[in-house]
Structure 1
Amino acid sequence: MQTSLEGAAMSRTARKLLSQNFLWNRELVNKLIRGSSVSQNDSVLEIGSGKGIITEQLLGICQKLTAIEADRRLHSFLKENLPIKQGLQLLPCDFLDYPLPSSEPFKVFSNIPFSITGEIVKKLLFSPNPPEDSYLVVQREAAEKFVGKKCGNTMLAVIFYPFFDIKIVHTFQRSDFKPKPKVDSCLIQLVKRKSPFIRKSNVQLYRDFVVYHFGRKRLAPAVTPSEWLAKFDEFIKKHDPRMLNKIGGSFTKWQAEERKLSKIHRTRTGA
């Protein structure tokens, strides 16, 4: 596919605001997609289609593809250059405003804007109907925040652990992107667990438990995700009404604060 907008597809300002760096090697992209779980019968969502290098490869595999691109010029470019295919939906919108499928199973494969990585991951994984499997190109530093480790875990890594298996599956060279980023990047896979480690009836309570204790540094980051689960089991067995009342609503309050900060950030940057 010819890319006549190689230098001008996205304005410099928009590219800077969204921290978008485009993959250019079709052979590499094809290898990564072929090595993923994406198959012919899947419904796939792509966030930030850019110049369509991932879109083009996904079209050759999956049955249904929804490609979201917020930049109007890039969206027009995709409409003009991608092959017309039944099952392809090109949407010119901001993913953060896009309503995810309410019940239909879907997967995600995307090179997302680095500056809103956290917002995208939280939207996907906190959804009532999260993707079955996701592959996201992200900054290496951001990836480390989501992957459960033996020590130094973040709050999000602990919250996601019972429900998703998150791992780094590929490390990119900086030369794999145009323009070349100043940071290291990788592809992370986020697989929804078929049998979560937390019962559905306790999901909200677990989130409250983690947010409350992280906020007060009651449990050290050195505690592993498995140890967090053990602590939560102990908490459930004690069934202390006073503590249940204390931690109740912690996750909802944290989400409200996060949305407020996100809105301020997007207003300042124009993203």
Structure 2
Amino acid sequence: MSTFYSKKKFGQNFLKDYKVLMNIINSAELKSSDYVVEIGPGKGFLTKAIVEKVKKVVAIEVDSSLNEILTSKFQSYNNLEIIYGDARNIQIEIFEKYKVLANLPYYAALPIIRRFLLAKNKPSLMVVMLQKEVAQSMVSKPGSSSLLSISTQIYCNPKIISYVSANSFKPKPKVTSALVKLIPYQIPIINIENEEDFFEFLKKSFSTPRKQLKNSIENGLKISSNSALEILAKSNILHTRRAQTLDINEWYLLYKQWCVFREQGDL
């Protein structure tokens, strides 16, 4: 078998730590009847532990040059299917009653997670490896909320399981990682009719998260100071608060008032 070298373009850092592997397996609460989608099997280190515990595994690997390694390693397993493709584009409607386990390349992690959270056929849980700072932002609560935490927690309950040293991977990444467990909600906790418009509003309103909220939405939405104050007053939100202190329901109320003002042309 030819020697395989990791590729920077795919962000390949292969897990090699058995303690971390078992933490992933235990966090996923795997049962013999489970259907698992693994994203980024790499050389199959985690894959082997999964296929020995569950009914069916579909592994999605972006690097087709790993085919020789994976085919050789799993030729005796009939419960594994390998799909070569980018998980940002792969058809996920075919999966039913499944869990997702993933050692995600950092450049593609958030788009991949978002695809599964927004899917009609959501996984029952996801256990994913992320960059430490991204994970911390994702799980942050009002007081230190971020655009990422709000946009994630509308659709799921994320929790950091553990932090993972660079020494757990080969080659070593330049950052510390975090193992995160996400439990998707079958129905988002707020009813957003136009998700694209809502998140554009959120993005603009979070443009200066540490400034007073009046200034954040005034500058982000390009509206007058009086309009910003009125929208906040009708949302029953104090104008001196900061974007990072609002919870999801408060953002939803603020967005609804923004929509009313916009439709009335009062801005």
TM-score tier after normalising by the smaller chain length: 0.7 to 0.9
More displaced stretch, 205-214 vs 102-111: 205-214
Structure with greater proportional helix content = 1
How is 1:184-203 mapped onto 2 (pairs within 5 angstroms)? 184-193=176-185, 196-198=188-190, 202-203=191-192
- Counterpart check, 1:19 vs 2:11: yes
One of 83, 104, 124 as aligned partner of 1:132: 124
How far the C-alpha of 1:24 sits from its partner, in A, is 0.9
1:75 shift after superposition: 2.2
Among candidates 248, 251, 257, match of residue 228 of structure 1: 248
Cα distance in 1, alignment partners of residues 254 and 171 from structure 2: 50
8 Å Cα contact 1:146/1:166 also seen in 2: yes
SS at match of 1:79: helix
* More displaced stretch, 203-212 vs 77-86: 203-212
Cα deviation per residue 1:129-152 (whole Å; 9 max; x = unaligned)? Answer: 222210111111221332232333
Task: Look up the match of 2:221.
Answer: none
Instruction: State the TM-score, normalizing by the size of structure 2.
Output: 0.76
Q: For 1:96, what is the secondary structure of its paired residue?
A: coil
Deviations 1:22-43 (A, max 9, x none): 1112343134302422322221
1:268 is aligned to: none
Gaps of 5+ in 2: 206-215, 218-240
What code does the residue aligned with 2:26 have? R
Identity %: 24
Question: Which is higher, the Rg of structure 1 or of structure 2?
Answer: 2
Q: Deviations over 1:84-129 (max 9, x none)?
A: 3233101122222210035622111111112211221222222222
- Name 2:4's counterpart in structure 1: 9
Which residue of structure 2 lines up, in the alignment, with residue 267 of structure 1? none
Q: Distance in 1 between matches of 2:193 and 2:21?
A: 37
Is 1:32 equivalent to 2:24 in the alignment?
yes
- Out of 66, 91, 94, the residue aligned to residue 86 of structure 2 is 94
The separation in 2 between residues aligned to 1:171 and 1:107, in whole angstroms, is 21
Q: Map 1:170-189 to 2 at 5 A.
A: 170-189=162-181
SS at match of 2:243: coil
Shift in Å, 1:220 = 3.7
Contact in 2 for aligned 1:117/1:142 (Cα 8 Å): no
Letter in 1 for 2:185: R
1:95 match: secondary structure? coil
User: SS where residue 114 of structure 1 aligns?
Assistant: coil
Match for residue 160 of structure 2 among 168, 171, 195: 168
Structure 1 regions of 5+ residues with no counterpart? 247-271
The CA RMSD over aligned residues, in Å, is 2.7
Superposed, which structure 2 residues align to 1:146-157 within 5 Å? Answer: 146-157=138-149
Relative to structure 1, the CA distance from residue 177 to residue 212 in structure 2 (aligned partners, 3 Å threshold; closer, same or farther) is same
Instruction: Determine helix, strand or coil for the equivalent of 1:65.
Output: strand
Cα distance, 1:52–1:222 mapped onto 2, change above 3 Å: same
Q: Does the alignment pair 1:212 with 2:218?
A: no
Task: Give the letter for the 1:169 counterpart.
Answer: I
Deviations 1:36-85 (A, max 9, x none): 22322221111111010110000011111001112122122101112532
**Distance apart, 1:196 and its partner CA:** 4.3
Residue in structure 2 matched with residue 85 of structure 1 by the alignment: 77
Letter matched to residue 245 of structure 2: V
Of 139-148 and 176-185, the range deviating more from structure 2: 139-148
**How far, CA to CA, are the matches of 2:95 and 2:262 in structure 1?**
34
Aligned residues: 232
Shift of 1:233: 4.2
More displaced stretch, 61-70 vs 156-165: 156-165
How far did 1:180 drift?
1.4
